[in-house]
């Protein structure tokens, strides 16, 4: 449909230079173009010896040769006068660089463009930092001048890779699998108790919209509506105050399908990621590995294991069944008590005293637990406060069971399964950090380990009220078919048709098959969760109006892309992120709004008083 045609006054009809002032981008000229007259537009990266202007656009750099003849004096003067980051248009002829002057490190390094004409669009002031990849900038400076920070080649690459990824995802969902892209509202009703939902005052006194955390209700309603396959790259909102590397608004790849089971959804997601995965990041293999929640907790102590490295949790309870060591025996004597360990290969050799102390500190401060450290010396003897307490056979069993070798480090903890597992799961990661700080390569960021975690419990005891159950994920998740009968007898034993997608130890998605029968949903809400079902009456009514079996998933796009590009923060894959305090530093949002302007929304500010009280009380 579209063709390239190039002539003296041509306009390109496709490609990145179509309909533009330029004929080519700064990154595309090669020896093939020698002799062509080209027009480039871009930013002055730098001037060299009054001889060259290095011109940059999103695609790369080209060397512009400044003519030195007297007849080109004006042109030379204009070019030599340019400040860095000024914006120009240059027309000239592509030449082979003189032999020996090629730059192999530069894709356009074989050629240069002899300038014949220049137009200066804009002269740049002196900038707060240089646009060079090696120039380090503080995070706050980057945020304040985001439009400059985005000029860096890695931010350009991140934004473009994200755009291309999303495009491929859309092609897969829409064109290959018949999904319908449906936009759902972001001005919605507040979820009762939805403490993390931003409110939006309306012009009706006391009435507020809220910005939803996900399109969960809408996507289920779309299935009831017969839309069959829905997806949306959905903007979601979560007000969590200041949490590191969280954003108040974020993006989900949100999808839902009718007449499908858990396997179907998982296959679609595997296909989606395989299809859209950037070629430069290497192919990914499907199906992904699957692990039950119980296996994940047992082996890794977390529900989102990083399976790029081993160091699994090892149960030593049997080893110490008849131990004399008091605290071990005591732990094992309680129901659900255990002794477990993690073996850190080379840990005894590599960990400094400070490293060991920090690991123990974490156990104490974050988990309120004591940790026993056992270092295996080069000669195979142990260094540990436990050493004297352990019998020869226990010691042997310990080394056998953990597979600890000379130079390894064992972290041992005793207590209830519910504390020991998360403790060791967390320390496993901390030890991986320490090993990497000592040069051990453990978790290659360019290796991608996808993992499904399945068979989560459907309900968990409430933290502050353990005899009462709450949803492990949300109240719409269906039970495993073989556990359905337990809903009516032993709901705490029910496993849900929920699946989490984990990539390199980060949860990048979660979804479930939903309850599609009104009676079952009502039972869960009313009898198990003891919630007021009238608050979800529209959903219950919908399920009662011919709801198909359905399920779906939401993938965290920001997180996914950040892992894909190896970014240390999701801020590096978002064009205009908020600071960790939720501020837009460039424009100063959020900002003060006059009481006058708030009047039409029937609200007023409750200024905190010295005593910390609310506005009116303090007046």
Piece of the chain touching a copy of itself by CB under 8 A; list 214-222, 373-381, 407-415, 470-478? 214-222
**Shortest Cβ distance from residue 262 to a copy of itself (Å)?**
11
Which residue, 21 or 488, has its beta carbon nearer to a copy of itself? 21
Q: Which one of residues 89, 298, 401, 473 is an interface residue with a copy of itself (CB under 8 A)?
A: 89
Number of residues interacting with a copy of itself: please give it, by CB under 8 A: 140
Largest CA distance in the chain: 98
Please report, as residue ranges, which positions from 496 to 525 form the binding site for a copy of itself (by CB under 8 A).
516-517
Q: Which of residues 227-246 bind a copy of itself (CB under 8 A)?
A: 227-229, 235, 237, 239, 241
Q: Shortest Cβ distance from residue 281 to a copy of itself (Å)? A: 17
DSSP 342-394: EEETTHHHH--HHHHHHHHHHHHHHH----EEEEE-TTS-EESTTGGGS-HHH
Contact call for residue 481 and a copy of itself (CB under 8 A): no
Position 385 contacts a copy of itself (CB under 8 A)? no
Nearer residue to a copy of itself within complex by CB, 3 or 447: 3
Gap between the Cα atoms of 496 and 511, Å rounded: 11
- Residue 199 found at the interface with a copy of itself (CB under 8 A): yes
User: Shortest distance, CB of residue 491 to a copy of itself, whole angstroms?
Assistant: 22
Rg (CA), the chain: 31
Which of 11, 77 has the CB closer to a copy of itself? 11
> CB-based contacts of 608: which residues, under 8 Å, 6+ apart?
614, 615, 618
Q: Residue 1 or 8: which CB sits closer to a copy of itself? A: 1
Task: List beta partners, residue 86.
Answer: none
**Residues facing 414 on adjacent strands:** 339
Neighbours of 213 (CB within 10 A): 18
Helices 262-276 and 153-170 sit at what angle, rounded to 10 degrees? 140
Closer residue to a copy of itself, CB minimum distance, 185 or 336: 185
Q: How far apart are CA 114 and CA 91, in angstroms?
A: 8
Question: Least separation, in Å, of the C-beta of 187 and a copy of itself?
Answer: 6
| CA dist., res. 382 & res. 21, Å (int) | 73
Instruction: List the interface residues with a copy of itself, window 574-603 (CB under 8 A).
Output: 574-576, 578, 582, 584, 586-593, 597-603
Over the range 48-72, which residues count as b (16 or more CB within 10 Å of their CB) and which as e? eeeebbbbbbbbbbbbbbbbeeeee
Q: How far is the CB of 331 from a copy of itself (least distance, A)?
A: 41
Could you say whether residue 226 binds a copy of itself (CB under 8 A)? yes
> Residue 453 to residues 292, 307, 388, 505: CA-CA distances in angstroms?
5, 12, 41, 11
Binding to a copy of itself, residues 9-48 (CB under 8 A): 11, 14-16, 18-22, 41, 43
Find the binder of a copy of itself among 97, 137, 190, 298 (CB under 8 A): 190
Closest approach of Cβ 189 to a copy of itself, in Å? 4
What distances in angstroms separate CA 123 from CA 84, 85, 87, one per listed residue?
Answer: 9, 8, 6
- Does 140 help bind a copy of itself (rule: CB under 8 A)? no
Contact 498, 512 (CB under 8 A): yes
Residue 391 or 545 having the CB closest to a copy of itself: 545
Indicate the burial class of 265 (C-beta count within 10 angstroms; 0-12, 13-18, 19 or more): buried
> Could you tell me if 555 and 169 are in contact, meaning their C-beta atoms sit under 8 angstroms apart?
no
Question: Mask 450-479, x = binds a copy of itself (CB under 8 A)?
Answer: ------------------------------
Q: Which pair of structure tokens corresponds to residue 102?
A: 């090629």
Q: How far is the CB of 476 from a copy of itself (least distance, A)?
A: 15
Beta bridge partners of 56: 43, 61
Nearer to a copy of itself, 175 or 489 (CB): 175
**Bond preceding residue 438 cis, omega within 30 of 0:** no
Please give the residues from 48 up to 87 whose contact with a copy of itself meets the rule CB under 8 A.
56-58, 85-87
Q: Which are the contacts of 171, defined by CB distance < 8 A and separation ≥ 6?
A: 275, 276
Of residues 153 through 182, those in contact with a copy of itself by CB under 8 A are: 156, 159-160, 162-164, 166-167, 170, 174-178, 180-182
> Scanning residues 272 to 311, which ones bind a copy of itself (CB under 8 A)?
275
Is 344 in contact with 338 (CB distance < 8 Å)?
A: no
> Which CB atom, from 157 or from 530, has the smaller least distance to a copy of itself?
157
In angstroms, give the least distance from the CB of 26 to a copy of itself: 10
Please, what is the minimum distance in Å from the beta carbon of residue 312 to a copy of itself? 33
Q: How far is CA 259 from the centre of its chain?
A: 30
Q: Does 2 contact a copy of itself by CB under 8 A? A: yes
| Using rule CB under 8 A, residue 365 touches a copy of itself | no
Task: Considering the complex, state which of residue 219 and residue 498 has its C-beta at the smaller distance from a copy of itself.
Answer: 219
């Amino acid at each position: 449909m579209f063709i390239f045609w190039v002539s003296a006054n041509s306009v390109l009809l496709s490609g990145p230079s179509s309909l533009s002032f330029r004929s080519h981008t700064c990154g595309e000229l090669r020896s093939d173009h020698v002799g062509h007259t080209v027009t480039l537009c871009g930013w002055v990266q730098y001037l060299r010896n009054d001889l060259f202007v290095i011109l940059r656009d999103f695609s790369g750099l080209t060397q512009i040769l400044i003519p030195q003849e007297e007849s080109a004096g004006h042109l030379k003067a204009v070019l030599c006068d340019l400040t860095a980051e000024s914006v120009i248009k240059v027309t000239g002829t592509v030449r082979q660089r003189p032999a020996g002057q090629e730059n192999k490190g530069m894709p356009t390094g074989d050629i240069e463009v002899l300038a014949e004409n220049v137009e200066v669009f804009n002269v740049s002031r002196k900038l707060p930092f240089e646009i060079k990849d090696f120039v380090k900038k503080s995070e706050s400076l980057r945020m304040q001048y985001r439009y400059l920070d985005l000029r860096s080649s890695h931010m350009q690459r991140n934004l473009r890779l994200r755009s291309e990824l999303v495009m491929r995802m859309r092609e897969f969902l829409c064109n290959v699998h018949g999904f319908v892209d449906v936009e759902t509202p972001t001005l919605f009703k507040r979820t009762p108790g939805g403490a993390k939902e931003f409110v939006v005052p309306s012009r009706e006194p006391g009435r507020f919209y809220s910005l939803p955390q996900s399109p969960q209700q809408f996507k289920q309603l779309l299935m009831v509506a017969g839309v069959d396959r829905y997806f949306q790259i959905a903007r979601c909102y979560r007000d969590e105050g200041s949490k590191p590397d969280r954003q108040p608004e974020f993006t989900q790849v949100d999808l839902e399908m009718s007449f499908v089971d858990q396997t179907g959804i998982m296959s679609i997601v595997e296909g989606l990621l395989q299809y859209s995965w950037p070629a430069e990041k290497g192919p990914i293999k499907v199906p992904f590995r699957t692990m039950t929640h119980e296996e994940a907790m047992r082996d890794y102590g977390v529900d989102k294991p990083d399976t790029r490295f081993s160091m699994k949790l090892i149960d030593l309870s049997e080893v110490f069944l008849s131990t004399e060591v008091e605290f071990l025996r005591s732990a094992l004597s309680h129901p659900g008590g255990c002794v477990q360990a993690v073996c850190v290969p080379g840990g005894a050799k590599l960990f400094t005293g400070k490293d060991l102390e920090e690991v123990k500190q974490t156990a104490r401060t974050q988990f309120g637990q004591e940790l026993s450290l056992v270092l295996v010396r080069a000669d195979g003897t142990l260094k540990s406060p436990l050493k004297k307490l352990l019998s020869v056979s226990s010691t042997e069993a310990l080394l056998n069971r953990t597979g600890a070798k000379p130079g390894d480090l064992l972290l041992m903890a005793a207590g209830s399964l519910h504390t020991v597992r998360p403790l060791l799961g967390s320390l496993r990661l901390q030890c991986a950090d320490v090993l990497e700080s000592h040069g051990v390569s453990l978790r290659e960021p360019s290796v991608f380990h996808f993992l499904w975690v399945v068979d989560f419990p459907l309900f968990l005891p409430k933290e502050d009220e353990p005899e009462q159950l709450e949803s492990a994920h949300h109240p719409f998740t269906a039970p495993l078919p073989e556990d359905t009968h337990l809903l009516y007898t032993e709901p705490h034993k029910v496993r849900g048709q929920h699946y989490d997608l984990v990539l390199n130890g980060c949860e990048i998605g979660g979804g479930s098959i939903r309850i599609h029968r009104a009676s079952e949903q009502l039972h869960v809400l009313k009898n198990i969760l003891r919630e007021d079902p009238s608050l979800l009456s529209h959903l219950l009514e919908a399920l009662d109006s011919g709801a198909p079996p359905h399920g779906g998933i939401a993938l965290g796009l920001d997180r996914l892309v950040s892992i894909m590009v190896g970014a240390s923060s999701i801020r590096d894959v978002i064009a205009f992120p908020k600071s960790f305090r939720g501020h837009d530093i460039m424009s100063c949002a959020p900002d003060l709004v006059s009481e006058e302007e708030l009047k039409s929304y029937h609200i007023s500010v409750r200024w905190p008083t010295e005593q910390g009280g609310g506005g009116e009380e303090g007046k």
